[in-house]
């Protein structure tokens, strides 16, 4: 299915597996790349030397292109970038920060740079910074997100109107119909997060994967906007946060309750009560844990079926 995104990344299908903390290591990324999508390592939860190991293993497990996601909130971004350049990674997704800082440095080394945004304003800034493509992530998405609560249905056409570079839609996409819908809205490709957390190869804890497939409508909420807005699955930790809000929480109190290592504790170590569980609204329609290659194949066959079914509209 050749289009701007498959050509940019040299892949078969315009499906990017989101780089995600505590979920997307080399097993998931290489499985998605081998299946014809773009696998992405989530460097945000890796020490620099851990990233080095994941890149090495990914290079051994696939000959296809793969990328690395680097949230710029990360304290040692320069160390991660040095490893990415040294090991010859060809695609970098930057998020949670200013794209100006790293774009030309990476591009000068032949690396394709994609930046993740959640608003038209930041999409325009990213285009001005010279990135090769943009991921526009709607309010439905799992993990960290914008404060404005702009849904994917609103964000994609709005961004499309203002930018010329390739556009990747994210947030709430877990079906082939979702892919088709966002393409009709103007996207050239999709970034899929939550669906891939519930895959066999994701490094997330099995108890977390089980919670995702049990999740129902209304079980997630975008919270902690004063620190860094994040969509969480409701659990005891989430209820504690809400109680702190009800008592008129200060930023310091929110920081205290979040503490350190909450995300690892929940998503990686499997503490379903006290851990932070990042997942999207779309978890309510994810009902099984599948191999990543099956997810990619199912997304594409649903997409092709949906295209046929809607051809006569």
Q: List interacting residues with ligand FMN (CB under 6 A).
A: 18-21, 23, 42, 44, 69, 71, 95, 116, 137, 140-143, 170-173, 191-194, 197, 267, 278-280, 282
Cβ 198 vs Cβ 212: under 8 Å: yes
Residue 140, number of CB atoms within 10 A of its CB: 22
Q: Pick the closer one to ligand FMN by CB: 23 or 296.
A: 23
Write down the least CB distance from residue 127 to ligand FMN, Å.
18
Write down the least CB distance from residue 257 to ligand FMN, Å.
20
Write down the least CB distance from residue 283 to ligand FMN, Å.
8
Question: What is the SS3 assignment for 275?
Answer: coil
Q: Pick the closer one to ligand FMN by CB: 6 or 94.
A: 94
Q: In what order do the strands lie in the sheet with 189-192?
A: 15-17, 189-192, 167-170, 133-137, 112-117, 91-95, 66-71, 39-42
Write down the least CB distance from residue 94 to ligand FMN, Å.
8
Q: Pick the closer one to ligand FMN by CB: 11 or 263.
A: 263
Write down the least CB distance from residue 33 to ligand FMN, Å.
16
Phi then psi dihedrals of residue 91, to 5 deg? -135, 130
Q: Pick the closer one to ligand FMN by CB: 182 or 249.
A: 182
Q: Pick the closer one to ligand FMN by CB: 77 or 279.
A: 279
**Terminal-residue alpha carbon distance, the chain:** 22
Residue nearest to ligand FMN (CB): 193
Dig out the tokens for 32 from the structure. 């998605």
283: which residues sit within 8 A by CB, 6+ positions away? 142, 194, 198, 212, 213, 215, 219, 220, 233
223: which residues sit within 8 A by CB, 6+ positions away? 229, 230, 231, 232, 238, 241, 242
Q: Pick the closer one to ligand FMN by CB: 11 or 249.
A: 11
Distance CA 195, CA 143 (A): 13
Distance CA 155, CA 169 (A): 9
Q: Pick the closer one to ligand FMN by CB: 62 or 152.
A: 152
Q: Pick the closer one to ligand FMN by CB: 23 or 92.
A: 23
DSSP string for residues in 144-155 = E--SS---HHHH
Write down the least CB distance from residue 174 to ligand FMN, Å.
6
Residue 208 CA, chain-centre distance (Å), reads 17
Write down the least CB distance from residue 86 to ligand FMN, Å.
21
Write down the least CB distance from residue 313 to ligand FMN, Å.
25
Question: What is the SS3 assignment for 216?
Answer: coil
């Amino acid at each position: 299915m050749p289009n701007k995104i498959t050509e940019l990344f040299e892949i078969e299908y315009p499906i990017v597996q989101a780089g995600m903390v505590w979920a997307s290591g080399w097993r998931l990324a290489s499985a998605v790349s081998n299946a014809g999508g773009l696998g992405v390592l989530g460097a945000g939860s890796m020490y620099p030397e851990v990233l080095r190991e994941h890149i090495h293993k990914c290079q051994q497990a696939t000959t296809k292109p793969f990328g690395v996601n680097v949230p710029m909130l990360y304290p040692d971004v320069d160390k991660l970038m040095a490893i990415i350049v040294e090991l010859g990674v060809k695609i970098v997704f930057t998020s949670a920060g200013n794209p100006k800082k790293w774009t030309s440095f990476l591009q000068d080394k032949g690396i394709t740079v994609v930046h993740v945004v959640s608003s038209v304003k930041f999409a325009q800034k990213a285009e001005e910074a010279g990135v090769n493509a943009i991921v526009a992530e709607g309010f439905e998405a799992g993990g960290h997100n914008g404060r404005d609560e702009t849904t994917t249905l609103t964000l994609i056409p709005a961004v499309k109107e203002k930018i010329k570079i390739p556009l990747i839609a994210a947030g709430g996409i877990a079906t082939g119909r979702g892919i088709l819908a966002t393409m009709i809205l103007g996207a050239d490709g999709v970034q899929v997060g939550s669906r891939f957390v519930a895959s066999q190869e994701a490094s997330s804890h099995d108890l977390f994967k089980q919670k995702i497939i049990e999740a129902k409508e209304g079980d997630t909420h975008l919270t902690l906007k004063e620190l860094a807005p994040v969509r969480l699955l409701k659990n005891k930790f989430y209820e504690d946060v809400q109680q702190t809000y009800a008592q008129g929480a200060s930023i310091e109190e929110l920081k205290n309750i979040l503490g350190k290592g909450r995300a690892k504790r929940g998503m990686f170590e499997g503490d379903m009560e006290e851990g932070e569980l990042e997942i999207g609204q779309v978890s309510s329609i994810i009902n099984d844990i599948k191999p990543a290659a099956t997810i990619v194949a199912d997304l594409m066959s649903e997409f092709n079926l949906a295209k046929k079914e809607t051809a006569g509209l």
